[in-house]
Amino acid sequence: MRRFILRRLGFAVVSLFLLSVTIFFFVRVTGDPAVLLVEPGASQADLDAIRQQFGLDQPLPVQYGSFIAHLARGDFGQSFYYRTDVLELYLSRLPASLLLATVAMVFSLVIGLPTGIVAAVRVNGWWDSAGKIFALLGLSMPSFWVGLLMILFFSVYLGWLPSSGSGTLLHVLMPAFALGWYFAAAHMRLTRSSMLEVLGSEYVKLARLKGLPEALVIGKHAFKNALIPVLTLAGINLVLMVNVAVVVETVFAWPGVGRLLYEGIAFRDFPVVQATVLLGGAMIVTVNLIVDVLYAVIDPRIRYER
Amino acid sequence: MNGSRAAGLTLAWRFAAFRSEGFPLLPTLILLTLALVAIFANVITPYNPEIGSLGDRFHPPVWQAGGSAEHLLGTDHLGRDVLSRLIFGARVSMVVGFTAVIVAGLLGTGLGIVSGYLGGWVDQLIMRITDTWLALPALTFAIFLAAIVGPSEMNIVIILAAVYWTRYARVIRGEVLSLKERDFVRLAIVAGCSKRTIMRRHILPNVLNSAIVLATLMLGVVIVTEASLSFLGVGVPPPKPAWGLMLADGKKGLMAGYWWLTVLPGCCIVLMVLAANLLGDWLRVKLDPQLRQL
């Protein structure tokens, strides 16, 4: 068990290291940030001064060394554009992203779980077909288009919801639904297949033989067990939601980390891009690691696989 | 069971089975129609999609009050004909989508086979790179690459291929791992085939089905990603008529209620992606029982 965890931990660290190298060198290929930071028509001396100030005049390996050395002390550097600590900047945007992702997750589960259960209970029936169509639409409709349609309907025609910005609870509803839409379909699919598997198992047959009412068999015996894989996926997806919301955030002018990354790339704000990508990557790698280890704890066969 | 020659025979058999079991006619027709529209875009479009007249801005579609038969689906904020732009948009989506899926497929399948068959440090290296790639959300990664190489259709294809090859590599490698323990591969080794020959003649034909299924399923993903990139302004450069770009332009007229600029391009995207997904789902069940639960 310990060997398994150490091995997986090693893989995770190697992945993050490769990610840091990739991102560090890629970001420097995007162009020279100094050009964007000075007034138009600035002299060569001004440009050189800026490059020196941010250490961009050093050779790349030296820059990377100092980046990693600072990183080891938890210092992600200063933003070129905002001139503040990048980690602070990131943390100031994170609550908005977490709020968006949490509400989106609630939407996706509230839609995905019941439809998945009904589809499994009435397998190959009318409800199942409707569920399949819903799942396909979820995978085929781009989330930002769902967002645009909602703005058109709820903001322009009905005037019920604000079309962009943040602050009140009303502001979060539309972006969260647009973001949760795709995941609702994914959760529905998994709930359905997981329920089907459990419904075919021996203990469900036994529960039925005992003469339990069908509602209790499905609600208590089947659903609770079918929920495990769905919640695992939901946990992974929550982290993904924080990191894939860029386009939805753009549509609704939502001030999350996705926008931060996008602005960082546009302004060639190297430290901001490095920090957002690395922290996002670290979240995803960590959550995958936790799931791997938990599964190995539950199922010993996985431990001896490799 | 015996490698490449069997693959040829079963292909004929499978074609016969194609017609019998619920062939998804509608999705195929949609894709074919879109392909034809894309090919003959310059013949059937009434207007130049990139040039408009500023006197004709924001005309609604023909059935709405104020619309005219001159612009069947209305005009956009620069007075360009929406129908013409949608038709040329099909060309952009088709070209970018298919090329990206094929390039990513070639790269991913090739590396997957090499990784799975050779094993050892080659396998470790390719799989660690795959892990790193997958630790980044695809869209973030694509935006990032787009910022590096700059917007153009050619670059979008490269970006999409660079982001999505890992999906193929993962699945194909898994298949190769079990294939290489099979008798026909062992016999080939005994017969003195070189590693190259085995990978090309014995492994490749047997993973081709999975690669085709994956490619069809990836088509939808790739088209949505392209639309997202164009929407963000890092995809296909304006004034080219890409559907994602049209949605970005349409947002300017959204609050004024110019619905056709938002609804119509989105419908086109959904239609194409839906058709690709339906076809992919059917192919998956048909060609590759192992991928059914994917």
Angle formed at CA B150 by CA B132 and CA A147, multiple of 5 degrees? 75
Is the ipTM here above 0.90? no
> pLDDT by residue (tens digit) across B128-179?
888 788 777 788 888 878 877 777 888 899 999 999 999 899 889 988 988 8
The Cα A120–Cα A196 span in angstroms is 6
Q: Is A211 helix (H, G, I), strand (E, B) or coil?
A: coil
- The verdict on a CB contact (< 8 Å) between B274 and A247 is no
What pLDDT is stored for residue B271 in this prediction? Answer: 92
Which residues of chain B make contact with A277, given a CB cutoff of 8 A?
136, 140, 144
- Residue B155, token pair as written in the block: 């670059």
Tell me the residue ranges of DSSP E strands in A155-273: none
The answer to whether the CB of B232 falls within 8 A of the CB of B143 is: yes
What pLDDT is stored for residue B294 in this prediction? Answer: 43
Query: pLDDT band for position B273 (50/70/90)?
Result: very high
Return the minimum-mean-pLDDT range out of A125-139, B58-72, B157-171: B58-72
Query: pLDDT band for position A11 (50/70/90)?
Result: confident
Average predicted confidence (pLDDT) for chain A:
83
- Residue B33, token pair as written in the block: 């129609």
Q: Which of B135, B148, B269 lies at the smallest CB-CB distance from A142?
A: B269
Residue A191's beta-bridge partner residues?
A: none
> pLDDT by residue (tens digit) across B94-117?
999 999 999 999 999 999 999 999
Q: In the 8-state DSSP scheme, what is residue A219?
A: I
**Rounded mean pLDDT of A33-50?**
73
Q: In the 8-state DSSP scheme, what is residue B55?
A: G
Over 90: is that where the pLDDT of A165 sits?
no
The second-level CATH assignment, the architecture, of B65-292 is: Orthogonal Bundle (1.10)
> pLDDT by residue (tens digit) across B187-223?
998 998 888 898 988 899 989 888 988 898 899 999 9
Over 80: is that where the pLDDT of A175 sits?
yes
What pLDDT is stored for residue A306 in this prediction? Answer: 46
What pLDDT is stored for residue A193 in this prediction? Answer: 87
Please tell me which residue of chain A has the smallest CA distance to B268.
A141
Burial B172-185 (b: 16+ CB within 10 A, else e): bbebbeebbebebb
- Residue A16, token pair as written in the block: 């993050």
Domain ranges of chain B: 65-292
Residue A22 contacts B, CB cutoff 8 Å: yes
What pLDDT is stored for residue B164 in this prediction? Answer: 92
Residue B258 contacts A, CB cutoff 8 Å: no
Q: Is B68 helix (H, G, I), strand (E, B) or coil?
A: coil
Over 60: is that where the pLDDT of B15 sits?
no
What pLDDT is stored for residue A305 in this prediction? Answer: 53
- The verdict on a CB contact (< 8 Å) between A163 and B269 is no
- Which stretch of DSSP H or E encloses residue A302? helix A300-303
Q: Which of B254, B264, B268, B292 is the best mutation test for A, with the most CBs of A within 10 A?
A: B254
Q: pTM of the entire structure?
A: 0.83
- The verdict on a CB contact (< 8 Å) between B224 and A142 is yes
Distance from CA of A208 to the nearest CA of B (A): 27
- Which stretch of DSSP H or E encloses residue B67? none
Q: Which of B135, B137, B251 lies at the smallest CB-CB distance from A285?
A: B135
The Cα B244–Cα B234 span in angstroms is 11
Please provide the size of chain B in residues. 294
Over 70: is that where the pLDDT of A122 sits?
yes
Return the minimum-mean-pLDDT range out of A54-58, A192-196, B241-245: A54-58
How many interface pairs between A and B have CB atoms less than 8 angstroms apart? 120
Q: At what angle do helices B153-179 and B120-134 cross, to 10 degrees?
A: 130
Centre a 10 Å sphere on the Cβ of residue A6 and count the other Cβ atoms it contains.
10
